[in-house]
Amino acid sequence: MIDVVIAGLGETVVGEHWDVSLRELAYKAMDLAQQDAGGLRPQALYVGNMLAPIVSGQAHIGTLLADFAGLRGIEAQTVEAGGASGGAALRLGYLAVKSGLLDVVMVVGVEKTTDRISADIEAAITTTMDSDYEAIHGLTSAAQGAMLMRRYMVEFGVPRQAFAGFPLVAHANGVGNPNAMFRRAIKSTLYERAGYISTPLNMFDVAPDADGAAALILTRRELLPTEFTHPLVRIIGSSMVTDSLALHDREDPLDFRSVRLSVERACSQAGLAHSEMDFLELFDLFSIYAALTLEAGGFAERGKGWQLAENRNIALDGAIPISTMGGLKARGNPWGATGIYQAIEAVLQLRGSAGENQIPNARRGMIQCLGGPAATAVTHILELVN
């Protein structure tokens, strides 16, 4: 059996990087990851990106970054799966090393949303939806989330304020993340006064678009340099599952079926139950996504995912901590890079390097990113090696 270990981490601050190009932003993370891995040189580069061809006017990003980073001659390609692009790139890197065909792989997620103004960004994001039946009629990602939240509130008799716990926990955790876009805690009164983005979603129910780059070095344990001193973290479960692209094609839109299947398959590979996870980094693009993910993943009963937030069971000292470094809501959402940021944050927890956000004795964590309203779900399980 081949153990796929995460040898190197590199990430930039998430925010608005007006003065840095796409390639420069990615290179910062790539260089940090190589340094963290003791100088391991990758044989392949997998790049998670969602918006660059439209927003930055740049496709062929794998070759662009390999060239810019001084890695000419290696295999390189871009991976796109909507908001799950980073997770999909990580899965490709994992499979490449797991197969034994490659020894060292670099996985990078990068996004530059500040290359265009907000209306153009919104239009670009809608290209990940069903163009013929959703986007063409003016449906946006936020409107999709709002409809799900409204449906949930009506079906389960839940007030809008019930979702406040998700952004409150995310922002509280963002304070301790030096790379987070927002490092300020919020109170429930501020949540209740916030303006609406798309009713009933208010501004604290929606994760902000952002620039950012994050990188990982994957390899086999026996190939680690002799000077490698970090606690060792391996990937023990990996799964990618799809559902219908259009939300209206599902029998039950409140059932994130791909999440359920992805969690089940990743847990089966790992030989673990979801209840054995010490934390969960989920895709809290909207507060309703957090509730539906917890339910589909088996962490809460149907219609009761919001109660985990209300009871603070998702806080750092709760039964199942989520968004431990701020999640998409406070860290920011650099789309194609988000899945790699999640992996880095999980590794920091398992290495015992999460600072004031450290979960005591964390040994296993689950990370999951979504493309659309769970049209794609990518789940990985990471474990600290004894």
Convert the pLDDT of each residue in 160-178 to its tens digit.
999 999 999 999 999 999 9
Give the CA count within 13 Å in the CB-facing half-sphere of 1.
7
Q: Are residues 213 and 326 in the same domain?
A: no
The pLDDT tens digits for 296-344 are: 999 999 999 999 999 999 999 999 999 999 999 999 999 999 999 999 9
Question: What span, in angstroms and rounded, lies between the C-alpha atoms of 367 and 101?
Answer: 25
Q: In the predicted model, what is the mean pLDDT of residues 364-370?
A: 98
Q: Are residues 53 and 148 in the same domain?
A: no
Q: Is the pLDDT of residue 356 over 90?
A: yes
What CATH code is carried by the domain that includes residue 219? 3.40.47.10
Q: What pLDDT shows up at residue 28?
A: 98
DSSP helix/strand/coil, 158: coil
Q: Is the pLDDT of residue 292 over 90?
A: yes
Q: Are residues 162 and 311 in the same domain?
A: yes
Q: In the predicted model, what is the mean pLDDT of residues 85-93?
A: 98
What the block records as the tokens of 280 is: 């969960």
Average pLDDT score over the chain: 97
How many CB atoms sit inside 10 A of residue 132's CB?
9
Q: What pLDDT shows up at residue 153?
A: 98
Q: Are residues 67 and 184 in the same domain?
A: no
Q: What pLDDT shows up at residue 118?
A: 81
Residue 310 inside a domain? The answer is yes
Residue 132 inside a domain? The answer is no
Q: What pLDDT shows up at residue 1?
A: 81
Residue 133 inside a domain? The answer is no
Q: In the predicted model, what is the mean pLDDT of residues 23-28?
A: 98
Q: Are residues 147 and 163 in the same domain?
A: yes
Q: What pLDDT shows up at residue 117?
A: 82
Burial of 154 (0-12, 13-18, 19+ CB in 10 A): exposed
The domain tally of the chain equals 2
Which residue range forms the structural domain that includes residue 289?
Answer: 138-205+236-384
Q: What is the pTM of this model?
A: 0.98
DSSP helix/strand/coil, 50: coil
Confidence of residue 206 (pLDDT cuts 50, 70, 90): very high
Q: Which of 160, 128, 117 is nearest to 288 (CA)?
A: 160
Residue 242 inside a domain? The answer is yes
